[in-house]
Amino acid sequence: MSNVDTGVVRGFGDEWTRFDQAGLPLEEQRRVFDMYFAVFPWEKLPPGAVGFDLGCGSGRWAQLAAPRVGTLHCIDASDAALAVARKKLDALPNVEFHHASVDAIPLPDASMDFGYSLGVLHHVPDTAAGIAACARKLKPGAPFCLYLYYRFDNRPFWFRRLWDVADVGRAVICRLPYPARSAVSQAIALSVYLPLARAARSLDRAGIDAHDFPLWAYRNSSFYVMRTDALDRFGTRLSQRFTRDEIRRMMTAAGLERVTFSEGLPYWCAVGYRR
């Protein structure tokens, strides 16, 4: 059985075609990139490092990663997403594209100097197997950067229950036809994400600790990011969440050691090294 959900792949093809990230301000793109890679050892990569971006989507992270390395392999299970990435990364000669799922990565085992997969492997049926498939492509000692949706394990009880209620809505919305799914998610971005995020920003500016305020993480985000993420979060039918300990165990079982987590947003980003 392949480790891919065709409905999810089709949905992300639609998402990246509509939100190709051309509207994402470059300053914000760089800021978020730095957050995802806060614990990634760029300075320790060998000269001309060769690595991979598993689930590259629109190519928004590859656009900033590729200039730092020798060769970057962009891999995605969606043809439509790859078309967006090819257009975005057209000016970068050191990027290669592969239409493949995580269980069929077209790279030799133990051949890569680094790898990363951000916001992807919680959308495949077997996340642990997906992490292991990525780890097999790394040379011994090579780093792998991973971001998975977290289970709010650093949040209070009431926050987790609030998400449970929202997840009931997600279970309904994600099964709608794409036009309806997209329309509802955009309404959520406008009526929920935007006002709560701006309220959190106001609390921050007033010197009030608003870390546990709903959607605090979006307090400095553009509305474009909110629209993209609302479609991602509410429009994707397979969306798993993990605690920090569960992520560590999966990475360790995949053959990664020295697993280190970023203590800042987004939760949880981690780096491990191939044993």
Answer for the pair 145, 37: CB distance below 8 angstroms, yes or no.
yes
Q: What percent of the chain has pLDDT over 90?
A: 96
Residues 156-199 have pLDDT tens digits of: 999 999 999 999 999 999 999 989 999 999 999 999 999 999 99
Residues 123 and 28 in one domain: yes
User: 136 with 21, same domain?
Assistant: yes
On whether residue 251 sits in a domain, the answer given is yes
The answer to the question of residue 41 being in a domain is: yes
Residue keyed to tokens 């006002």:
195
- Domain span at residue 228? 157-235
Q: What is the pLDDT of residue 1?
A: 57
Tell me the whole-structure pTM to 2 decimals.
0.95
pLDDT at 184: 97
110 in the same domain as 58: yes
Structure confidence at residue 61 (pLDDT): 97
Task: With respect to residue 214, please indicate whether it lies within any of the assigned structural domains.
Answer: yes
State how many domains the chain has.
2
Residue 137 C-beta-side C-alpha neighbours within 13 Å: 25
- Whether 118 and 215 map to the same domain: the answer is no
pLDDT at residue 2 in the model: 87
pLDDT digits (tens, 9 = 90+) for 219-237: 999 999 999 999 999 999 8
Residues of the chain where predicted confidence (pLDDT) is lower than 50: none
Q: Is 1 among the domain residues? A: no
Give yes or no: residues 161 and 262 share one domain. Answer: no
| Same domain assignment for residues 10 and 72 | yes
* 127: CATH: 3.40.50.150
Which pLDDT score is estimated for 228?
A: 95
Q: Please name which of 190, 200, 180, 192 lies closest in space to residue 223, comparing C-alpha atoms.
A: 190
